[in-house]
Amino acid sequence: MEIIMSLVVGVLFTVGVYLILTKSLLRIILGTAILSHGAHLLLLTMAGLKTGNPPLLPDDLSGGNVGAYTDPLPQALILTAIVISFGVTAFFFVLAYRAYKELGTDDMDQLRGNDDE
Amino acid sequence: MNNLLILPLIIPLLTGIILILFREQIKVQKWLSAIAMILTIGVSIQLVQTVSLKGIQTLRLGGWEPPFGIILVADMFAALLVATASIVGLCCILFAFRSIGIERERFYFYPFMLFLITGVSGSFLTGDIFNLFVCFEVMLISSYVLIVLGGTKEQLRESLKYVLINIVSSIFFVISVAYLYAVTGTLNMADLSLIVSEIMTQATSGQQGLVLIIALLFLFVFSLKAGLFLYFWLPGSYSAPPTAIAAIFGGLLTKVGVYAIFRTFSLIFYQQPEITHQLIAWLAGMTMIIGVLGAVAHWDVRKILAYNVVAAVGFIMFGFAIFTTVAIEGAIFYLIHDMIVKALLFLLGGAMIAIAGTSNLKEMGGLIKNHPGLGWMFFIAALALAGVPPLSGFIGKLLIIQGGLDAGFYWLTGISLLSSLLILYSVIKIFMNGFWREQKLRREEEKASFKGLALPCALLILLSIALGLGAEWVYGDYISEAAHTLMNPSIYIDAVSPVKE
C-alpha cells in the first residue's frame, strides 16, 4: 500500500512542479495546491499505513479491549498543515486577483519588472 | 520549568490581537505596540540573565513529559537572539511611527509587526521541529501581509514571487518532517538528536544514507529561507516594501533561517560534518561571492543593502561550517551584530531615500550639508558592517577568520576577507555618492526630514558601539556559553529530558 501511495505522491509532485513552472499565475497557484496535497499524503504515508482502529478510545476500557490503533500524531500534523496551507492559498488567490487588476496581466514573464521604476 | 519563556511570545501576540480592535485609534496602536515591545525586551533580557545564572531553561507546555508535549527551550543562543530580535523590532516600530503613513497604519500595520515578532521569537525558543514549522508560518504569513501592505505595483509584483517561493519551501519543510518522522518516530529536537545519533552509530541499520538525505533536505529548506546560496528571491523582495518593513525583514527574517541551520546541524545532524558541514562551507563561500558581486554592481541603495544581507548570511554560515568552538563563537557574535547593523543600515538608507526622493545613487548627492547627523551615523554603521576594530563587527570577523585558519579553510578565509573589503566598498560608495559631492537638493526641495526618525537609529548605533566596546563582557559571559552549548548537544539534551528519579 505504501508503494502505491508513494507513486501517487510522486505523480502529484510531478504535476505540481510542472504547473509551477508555467507562465500563467492561476496555474501556478493550482500547482502549489497540488504540491501541498502531495506533501500531506506523504506525511500520512510515511507514518505507516498499517490497518488498525481509528485513534478513538472505546467507552468501555475495563475489559482491556484496546486494540491496535493507527498513529494519531501525523493526523494532527496534517490537520495543522492543511489549515495553514488553506490560509496561505486563500491569501495567494486574492493577491493574484489584486495583481491582475492592478498590473493588467497574469503572465509571469511580464511581471519581471526592471530597475528603473 | 519556567514560565518566563513564554512571555516573549505571549506579550506581542496578545497585544497584536488587542490592537485589531483599535483600528482607527492610531495613537492607541502606537502607544500599546511600543509598550509591548519594551516589555518584551525587558523579559527577554531577564531570560538571558536567568539562563546565564541557572543554565538552560525549559517550559513543558501542558505539563507533559518530553518527548510527548511541545516544549520551549531557551539556551543562551536562543535567549540572546530573542533579546536582539525584540530590540530590533522596537526600533523598527519606532521608525514606523513617523515614516509608515496613516493609510498603512489604519490597515493593521502594528498588529502584523507584532505577529511577525511573535513568530520570530517562537522560532528561536521552540524545542520541537513541527512547532518550528508552525512558528515559521506565523512569521511568514505576517511577512506576506507586510510586504504587500499598501498595494503599490512594485509591491504586488514582488510579493507574488516572495509568497510563491515561501509556499514551496514550506511544502518542502513538511516533506522533510514527514521523512524524519518516518525514520525516527519523534518530533522533539532533543529526542531526535538521541535517536539520530543512535542510528548513525549502528553500522548495520543501513539508514545512515537516509538520515543524510533528510539532513540535506532540511539544509535546502532552511537555505531557501535564509538566502544561503538560494538567494535569488531576496534582493527583489527586500527592495519592495517601505523602509521600516524592509529593515525588520533584513534584520530578522533571514536570521531565523540561519538560526534553524545552526540548531538542526549542531543538535540533530552533527555526526557527518565531513559531508554536511563541508557542503555548508562551500555554499557559504559562493554566497559571499554572489552577495558582494551584487552589492558592488548596483547603484540602487536598496539593492546594495539587500545584497549585503546575502553576503552576511554567507559569512555567518561559513563561521558555523568551520565547526570549532572559536568559529562558532565568532558566528554567534557576528549574527547578533549583523541583526542590529542590518536593521540600522536599512533604516538609514530608507531615511536617505525618503529625503532624496529617489533610491538611485547617481541622482543623490551632498546630503551631509543639511543632515550631518544622518551622514555620520551612516558612516559609523558602514564601518561597523565592514568590521573596523572599535565597532561591533570586528570581534566576530576576527574569531571566524581565526577559526578558519586553524581548521585549514584557507581559500574560504581568503574569500571572506576579500568580501569584507568589497562590502566596505559598497557601503562607502553609498556614503560618498549620497552624502558627499555637490549638493543636488536645497533644503526646501527635500521630500522628507530626518527629524523623529533619528531616535531609533541612534538607539541601534549606540547598541552597536556598546557591543564593540563591551565585547569582552558580552563575549566572556554570554557568547562563549552559547557556543559551548551548541558544541555539546548533551547539555541541551540533559536539560530537556525528564529528571531521572
Using the Cβ of A9 and the Cβ atoms of chain B, whether some distance falls under 8 Å is answered with no
Q: How far is A47 from chain B (nearest CA, A)?
A: 5
For B132, how many CA atoms within 13 A lie in the half-sphere containing its CB? 26
pLDDT recorded at residue A63? 56
Q: How far is B179 from chain A (nearest CA, A)?
A: 6
pTM above 0.90, yes or no: yes
Find the helix packing angle between B276-297 and B208-226, rounded to 10°. Answer: 20
The closest alpha carbon to B350, from B483, B453, B446, belongs to B453
pLDDT recorded at residue B206? 73
Q: Report yes or no: A96 and A25 within 8 Å, Cβ to Cβ.
A: yes
Question: By percentage, how much of chain A surpasses pLDDT 90?
Answer: 62
- First-to-final CA distance of chain B: 17
Query: CA–CA separation, B410 vs B432, rounded Å?
Result: 33
- The alpha carbons of chain A give a radius of gyration, in whole angstroms, of 21
Query: CA–CA separation, B360 vs A39, rounded Å?
Result: 43
Q: What residues in B contact A47, CB-CB < 8 Å?
A: 178, 181-182
Q: With CB atoms and an 8 Å threshold, state whether A32 touches B171.
A: yes
Query: CA–CA separation, B227 vs B316, rounded Å?
Result: 12
Query: CB within 8 A of B438, min separation 6: which ones?
Result: B365, B366
pLDDT recorded at residue B499? 56
Number of H helices and E strands in chain A, helices first, is: 3, 0
What SS3 state is found at A1?
coil
Find the helix packing angle between B325-356 and B393-407, rounded to 10°. Answer: 140
Q: With CB atoms and an 8 Å threshold, state whether B156 touches A117.
A: no
- The strand pairing partners of B428, in sequence order, are none
Q: With CB atoms and an 8 Å threshold, state whether A28 touches B164.
A: yes
Using the Cβ of B300 and the Cβ atoms of chain A, whether some distance falls under 8 Å is answered with yes
Q: Which whole number is the average pLDDT over A38-52?
A: 87
Neighbours of A75 (CB within 10 A): 15
Query: CA–CA separation, B369 vs B100, rounded Å?
Result: 26
What is the band of A116 on the pLDDT scale with cuts at 50, 70, 90?
A: very low
Query: CA–CA separation, B335 vs B343, rounded Å?
Result: 12
Q: With CB atoms and an 8 Å threshold, state whether A102 touches B134.
A: no
Q: With CB atoms and an 8 Å threshold, state whether A35 touches B154.
A: no
Query: CA–CA separation, B442 vs B440, rounded Å?
Result: 7
pLDDT recorded at residue B295? 93
Of B144, B167, B178, nearest to A46 by CB-CB distance is B178
Place of cell 552577495: B291
Q: Classify each residue of B264-301 as buried b or exposed e, where b means 16 or more C-beta atoms within 10 Å of its C-beta.
A: bbbbbbbbebeebbeebbbbbbebbbbbbbbbeebbbb
pLDDT recorded at residue A64? 55
Tell me B266's DSSP state: I
Using the Cβ of A85 and the Cβ atoms of chain B, whether some distance falls under 8 Å is answered with yes
Residue A114, pLDDT above cutoff 60: no
Residuewise pLDDT in 10s, chain B (501 residues): 688 999 999 999 999 999 999 999 999 999 999 999 999 999 999 999 999 999 899 999 988 888 888 999 999 999 999 999 999 999 999 999 988 889 899 999 999 999 999 999 999 999 999 999 999 999 999 999 999 999 898 899 999 999 999 999 999 999 999 999 999 999 999 999 999 998 888 877 678 889 999 999 999 999 999 999 999 999 989 989 999 999 999 999 999 999 999 999 999 999 888 889 999 999 999 999 999 999 999 999 999 999 999 999 999 999 999 999 999 999 999 999 999 999 999 999 999 998 888 889 888 888 888 888 899 999 999 999 998 888 888 999 999 999 999 999 999 999 999 999 999 999 999 999 999 888 877 777 777 777 888 899 999 999 999 999 988 888 888 999 999 999 999 999 999 886 543
Q: Which amino acid is at B222?
A: F
- First-to-final CA distance of chain A: 54
Q: What residues in A contact B164, CB-CB < 8 Å?
A: 20, 28, 32, 92
The x, y and z cell numbers of residue B35, run together, are 509598550
Omega into B273 within 30° of 0, i.e. cis?
no
Using the Cβ of A109 and the Cβ atoms of chain B, whether some distance falls under 8 Å is answered with no
Q: Which amino acid is at B265?
A: F
Q: How far is CA B143 from the centre of its chain?
A: 14
The x, y and z cell numbers of residue A112, run together, are 519581471
Using the Cβ of B137 and the Cβ atoms of chain A, whether some distance falls under 8 Å is answered with yes
Q: With CB atoms and an 8 Å threshold, state whether B157 touches A25.
A: no
Measured CA to CA in angstroms, residue B158 lies from A99, B153, B167, B327, B493 at distances of 10, 9, 14, 36, 42
Q: With CB atoms and an 8 Å threshold, state whether A39 touches B182.
A: no
Query: CA–CA separation, B312 vs B333, rounded Å?
Result: 12
Chain-wide mean pLDDT for chain A?
A: 87
Query: CA–CA separation, B500 vs B28, rounded Å?
Result: 50
Q: Report yes or no: B55 and B45 within 8 Å, Cβ to Cβ.
A: no
For B471-476, which contacts have Cβ atoms below 8 Å and span 24 or more sequence positions? B471/B333, B471/B392, B471/B394, B471/B395, B474/B333, B475/B329, B475/B333, B475/B395
Query: CA–CA separation, B243 vs B93, rounded Å?
Result: 11
Query: CA–CA separation, B234 vs B238, rounded Å?
Result: 6
Place of cell 541583526: B339
The x, y and z cell numbers of residue A2, run together, are 505504501
Q: With CB atoms and an 8 Å threshold, state whether A91 touches B134.
A: no
Q: How far is B130 from chain A (nearest CA, A)?
A: 8
Q: Which amino acid is at B270?
A: Y
- Chain A segment 18-57 residues within 8 A of B by beta carbon are 20, 25, 28, 32, 35-36, 38-40, 42-43, 45-48
Q: What residues in B contact A75, CB-CB < 8 Å?
A: none
Place of cell 513529559: B65
Using the Cβ of B68 and the Cβ atoms of chain A, whether some distance falls under 8 Å is answered with no
Query: CB within 8 A of B436, min separation 6: which ones?
Result: B365, B366, B368
Using the Cβ of B178 and the Cβ atoms of chain A, whether some distance falls under 8 Å is answered with yes
